[in-house]
Structure 1
Amino acid sequence: MTGAGARRVDHADAEGADETAFLPSRRLPVWLILAGNAVMIASFWLIGAGGMMAKLILLLFWLLVLLGFLSGVRFSPAILVGGLVLGALITLILLGDGIGSEKIRLIGNLVMVPVGLACGFVIGRDCLRILMPAMGLYLILSSSFYLTHEGARLNHAFLFLGFFALCSVCNRPWGRWMTMIAVIPVLISQTRIAVLAMLINGFGMLRLSRISAWLVMVIVGGMIAWASWQYLPRLLMIHDSGRLAFWQMFFDIWQGGSETQRWLGFGAGSVEGILSQSASFASFGALHNDHFRILFELGFVGAVLWLAGWGVLVWMVRGTWLSVCILASVFVTMVTDNSLNYGHYLMACAMAAGIAAREGRPRG
């Protein structure tokens, strides 16, 4: 996994500037910003059609933009290690069992975070001028409430969560207002893991060495808890929505598999293949645990590489508290949801983490 350890070779490097020193954002040409917004709008509107096209457009666009800005970038040892880990994961997927299209889908999902992190770090805040307008427009026009047995909920919880992450790294005067506004749709989505991830991201915005930060945290936390108690009861419900039964079923399958399957997995797409044979597939849909999914599809070897990749990412941004918290929030959502399939959410959060790491804001 590559990205946030790259540094541009410039006069600051020659003088031995600290790795966490602020790096000025790269200025993107106006034509690229306009074209990028058009491409992003197309990508967002293709989400409803399903399939891989929406994520493919998203990924290819940012890869091409990133390649145009890599000249003069020096790669740190951490990036090289991350690249080896990602390469090993991709090789394991390609050589393992599974359908070809599912392998490509899984690889595409895996590279979203590294590419987003690299774009945020190498290009800087100008990334926001491409991604945020298109994302905001899509959320405004496509968001709606839907009824469940637990009450009305707002859709696009994870896209709103990604938008919150982007707002959290805005340094414009309106950035804080946008961040506070973005809290509302995440809350009324009543998606518990998304709210928890938002709080983790928000925690990274605080300067913990200041008493005022702790005061804000207590007040805001109390207000959210009170609002949830009064108007958002689902957030306080404690139940697994049937996940534990499916996790147990898949663990039994994995444990009962051959030695090769336990070590190298059942192959990309095997989780959906097995779930589709279940009568509960229509309502449950997926495993809702990306970490366990990696273990099942790529085996123990894949799980070790997966965790090592996350470890490298956190190590590369370790000096920036906000970046660490944003990555941690994504990692947490993967415990009870299918975040690995949400390409636009992953790209937004990774880009935000890269931008924060570029600024080099110290811990606490």
Structure 2
Amino acid sequence: MDSIELFTGAGGLALGTHLAGFHHRGLMEWNDDACDTLRRNAKLNALPGISGWRVHQTDVRMMSFDLFGEVDLVAGGPPCQPFSLGGKHRAQDDSRNMFPEFVRAVRELQPRAFILENVKGLLRQSFSNYFEYIKLQLEYPTITKRRDEEWTDHRNRLEEVRTKGRKPELKYNVVSELLNAADYGIPQTRERVFVVGFRADTELEWHFPEPTHSLDALKWEQFVTQEYWKRHRLRAPRNEPVALKLKLKDLEKDGPLKTKPWRTIRDAIVGLPEPIVGRDAKDFSNHRLNPGAKVYPGHTGSPIDLPSKTLKAGVHGVPGGENIVAYPDGLVRYLTVREAARVQTFPDTWLFEGSWSEAMRQLGNAVPVDLAAVIARSVAAKLAAKSEHLKLRSAP
């Protein structure tokens, strides 16, 4: 199945869809270092099958999508700054708002499905009307905004189409959900909005995959069975962590849990050598210590025996606050780029171009690879089953 990727960044979503079986006809990104990252990894075939990736370094607004031909999937995460909790919250009035370009790609390519990812801030009350507008545009992508028409008037027209039950030439069945990456085995409590749509004529039914991991299961493994500490060859703490509001009696009453434990930073970085200042560790690229980590009010780092807090691009507030790992003895240090990449579930073979801060920016903006793969595999399975069904039905 063929796909294209918009706003590719360092390649988190692109890798996830690749692992799900999609073949990328083109990846679009404008940032120099991110494009260098993509090109270098494609050249090195850092993951089997990506050597043919074509990277288009361009402003998406200047791109004609017709050159890609027929594709099954359009995927991408439009720049999040207009809606980020750390930004200026200008939303639809921000020149960096690229949601209209994602809609245009869907309109011009008419893929069988699309996957869109963005920040939790998109669900803020102040943005709720605009978020519904985005989904309406994706539902009816051929009903375009008229010149000089206010977005609110366009939204009203789209709502009228929906309520009247009209059947335009192109329609998508659209669902959205806020997902916590930790609930799917990613060692990071990263909450992101996913919007998934299937072209209506596919007649496919789909729902978001169920969570597979939980905090309660981690508590169980750390403080009931203590298997977590045994696995890491550590002595279990004597006291229950107050920060988790742990109630062992309640856990014991529930018994063994059906989900797997949340993965922690310690789980993620196991096997990596202790980083040092000035040079990469042997056999591990992007794994050198950046000195000078400090904690500030509101920026206390991430406890090593919990999932990381959401990695940030480092452009808001105190730089690096969420990119610091905190040890039980009070020691703190910055995560290396390689450790942050593991927190984002990038493979160790994936190399990042640019300075430490630039590589961290790429990682802070990325979709966790394994989370993208969970969503993309579910979408791919539905599309593949439909193709097989149509093939069997048309057979003589």
Q: What range is the shorter-chain TM-score in?
A: under 0.3
Higher relative contact order (CA 8 A, sep 6+): 1
TM-score in terms of structure 2 length: 0.24
TM-score in terms of structure 1 length: 0.26
Which one has the largest radius of gyration?
2
More helix by share: 1
